[in-house]
Amino acid sequence: MDRQRLTITLKQDILDRLDATIDGASIRNRSHAIEYHLGKVLGSRIQTALILAGGQGVKMRPFTYEIPKAMIPVQGKPIIEHTVTMLRDAGVKKILIHIGHLGNKIEEYFGDGSRLGTSISYVKEAKAEGTAAPLRLAKKELQTGPFILVYGDVLIDINMRDFIDFHSESNSLATIAITSVAEPSEFGVVKMQGNKVVEFLQKPPQSPGMSHLIYTGVSIIEPEVISLIPEKGESHLEDDVFPKLAKQKKLSGYPFEGKWFDIGTPEDYERALANWPKS
């Protein structure tokens, strides 16, 4: 990322307040502190996000006979509303929601997003064709710059602004948020070298020495990645895109330690209800 050296003069009390925010992790040093707080005032450098909420949620039946999985409530709000407010609070201006199964209920609930202080539009898909196909459908809206991608059944406590800064400095075509789990074989398993993902395996069989780092369903993607998606037919980021980027060393991994729930089964839902903090 291009930078310019500047000389500035600040009052001591402002410097003291800046230094008090440095924690060595999310804010690494004084220079990063200045960038971070200026960024909060000026808004996010990433203006667009896509939420994938078109799946049928078969494993969450009978809930999903009546409502889309992304609309299942956690602490009084639909799962997807937690994501929308997280993106809004990070300064993202435009949110696209990919809808399919019972998608009209999502559209009726959120409308144009003005109720939540954001702008929402919809990418409609008649037939589910995987996690990569929605990017192909929304190509026109996503081609202006990097965008955030979030799966609609994910609850995540992540410092989105720091995630964006990390990607901006990564020199990668995509950055995935990663965490560690006890049983990784149900997810996209990643092998790291430094900040780069060098191997991405989707739901591999359990084996000795397997990495416990997995993809959380949250990523930042450059628009060039869309060209890797086939023009027609079913395609998946986890099978068709991320493994290729990993081999090319163009995929980065952002580890975080916040709460994360992939609400794929009733058991996952129970854990989220018990552990996700109330708003």
User: 69: closest CA among 102, 110, 104?
Assistant: 102
At 175-224, the pLDDT tens digits run 999 998 888 877 889 898 889 999 999 888 888 778 889 999 999 999 99
The C-alpha atoms of residue 15 and residue 34 are separated, in whole angstroms, by: 9
The single-letter code of the amino acid at 74 is V
As assigned by CATH, the class of the 43-275 domain is alpha beta
Q: Are 268 and 217 in contact (CB under 8 A)?
A: no
With cut-offs at 50, 70 and 90, classify the pLDDT of residue 1: very low
Would you list the domain boundaries of the chain? 12-42, 43-275
- Residue 188: predicted pLDDT: 86
Contact 214, 180 (CB under 8 A): yes
Strands 196-202 and 154-156: unpaired
pLDDT tops 80 at residue 156: yes
In whole angstroms, how large is the CA radius of gyration of the chain? Answer: 19
Give the DSSP H or E segment for 82: helix 79-89
